[in-house]
Amino acid sequence: MWSRVGRWRSRVGGSSQFFRQDSSPAPAWTALGAQAITIADSLPTGPDPRPGTRGPGPGVRQDRRADVPPPPRGGKRTNALCDAAPWPPEHRRGRPVVSERPAARTPRQELGTFLRSRRDRLRPSELGLPTAPRRRTPGLRRDEVAELAGISSTWYAWLEQGRVRTSAQVLRAVARALRLDTAETAHVLSFVEETQPEAEPRTWVSRNLLTLVQSMAPNPAVVLDPHWDLLAWNAGYAALLTDPARLPPKRRNLLWLVFRWDPARTLLADWEREACALLGQFRAQAARHPQDRRYAEVVEEVLTDPDAARWYERRVTTRFQPAVRSFRHPLAGELRLRYVKLAAVDEPGHHFLAYLPDDRATEEAVCRLSGTG
């Protein structure tokens, strides 16, 4: 080995002087690269120190960076030229490419992850399928779901991997095979890619919608954008919950109020059920826009709550259902309010949410709370 390296060195540099390699062991996968770097770094990079010479022999590399420090004595040799190179670290020789932030997920990948979680939830015995003694997957296999849905196993595998664009007909067949409920089926169908791009939602409320919100007084009313940020509200809403004007702009969000505003847990009579349902609705909407920064900000803030983090990890998905919500207000007492949610056709992405009294006692309490009774 030494004679072979010495002869190569003599041919390149024109000198018969032998040099010593680093004797420290290297992993097997870096042995060849480390040997090449050690040999290259051992070549003389400046004028020949011997007197009477004009400079380096033909083929010897010249050092173009005079500020490169020598390797520490007794330490492990490194490629100093690469370490001092001006190009980004991910392009340096011998270093793995590490991304500073994870790549943004696409809607197809979100759909595939959701289908995979529901496939793992099912058991073969629930569908009358035979159970093998050495079954590796906790739930159904991909080929079993594909057979139940009437599609090829390869196509379903690509669907879970987010590699294909599919139709509503195929997604309905997959939903039936996975025994999805109504809300989960609607969530899956929402990933059908539209030919027309969605319009950017407005960050302001029109005069007509603002007049409608104010005319609902004393009943609470509010306008939400797609991220559930509060854009407009009336005095009844501020009296029922809190005045959003007192909160920082980033915290004027319905989901933030439910999970991060402390009085919400006592104000909502059935906080756990209501909060889990709202988080499922928000998750279903945010999953279709994985690259939206505002969705990511709201989710990051809300998931600091342990309950929200647990439910979000389970991928609970729900949809809005008109129902009667009970409140325990510290000033008005017990309130029973019906949620009414309407979409603004002339303002895409905006929703009008009103709280209507469900009985006479609640109607009188709402009037007293807003100061009109």
CATH architecture entry for 107-130+138-189:
Orthogonal Bundle (1.10)
Residue-level pLDDT at 143: 86
**Residue scoring higher pLDDT (190 or 209):** 209
Of the chain, the percentage scoring pLDDT greater than 90 comes to: 34
Residue 270 reports pLDDT greater than 80: yes
Tokens matching residue 244: 């959003």
pLDDT band for 330, please (50, 70, 90 cuts). Answer: very high
Mean pLDDT of 154-167: 86
Distance in angstroms (rounded) separating the CA atoms of residues 145 and 163:
17
Distance in angstroms (rounded) separating the CA atoms of residues 288 and 193:
10
Distance in angstroms (rounded) separating the CA atoms of residues 42 and 175:
64
**Residue scoring higher pLDDT (126 or 236):** 236
- pLDDT tens digits, 300-312: 999 999 999 999 8
CB 330 within 8 A of CB 264: no
Residue-level pLDDT at 109: 84
Residue type, 56: P
What kind and span of H or E run contains 354?
A: strand 351-357
Residue-level pLDDT at 1: 44
Residue-level pLDDT at 117: 86
Peptide bond into 218 cis (omega under 30): yes
pLDDT band for 182, please (50, 70, 90 cuts). Answer: confident
Distance in angstroms (rounded) separating the CA atoms of residues 136 and 133:
9
Q: Which CATH class is domain 207-370?
A: alpha beta
Residue-level pLDDT at 69: 53
- pLDDT tens digits, 215-238: 999 999 999 999 999 999 999 999
- In the chain, the N- to C-terminal Cα span, in Å, equals 99
Burial track 98-121 (b if 16+ CB lie within 10 A, e otherwise): eeeeeeeeebbbbbbebbbebbee
Name which of 25-29, 202-206, 213-217, 238-242 the model is least confident about: 25-29
Mean pLDDT of 37-62: 48
Identify which of 52-56, 161-165, 200-204 has the greatest average pLDDT.
Answer: 161-165
Give the CA count within 13 Å in the CB-facing half-sphere of 17: 9
CB 298 within 8 A of CB 256: yes
* Range list for CATH 3.30.450.180 in the chain: 207-370
pLDDT band for 92, please (50, 70, 90 cuts). Answer: very low
pLDDT band for 372, please (50, 70, 90 cuts). Answer: low
**Residue scoring higher pLDDT (373 or 229):** 229
* Range list for CATH 1.10.260.40 in the chain: 107-130+138-189
Mean pLDDT of 176-197: 77
Q: Which of these, 256, 251, 223, lies nearest to 237 by C-alpha position? A: 223
Where does residue 333 fall: left (phi above 0), alpha (psi -120 to 50 degrees), or beta otherwise?
A: left
pLDDT band for 133, please (50, 70, 90 cuts). Answer: low
Name which of 72-86, 116-130, 181-195 the model is least confident about: 72-86
Tokens matching residue 2: 């030494």
pLDDT band for 201, please (50, 70, 90 cuts). Answer: low
- Which residues, listed in sequence order, are joined to residue 63 by a DSSP beta bridge? none
Mean pLDDT of the chain: 76
Mean pLDDT of 115-136: 77
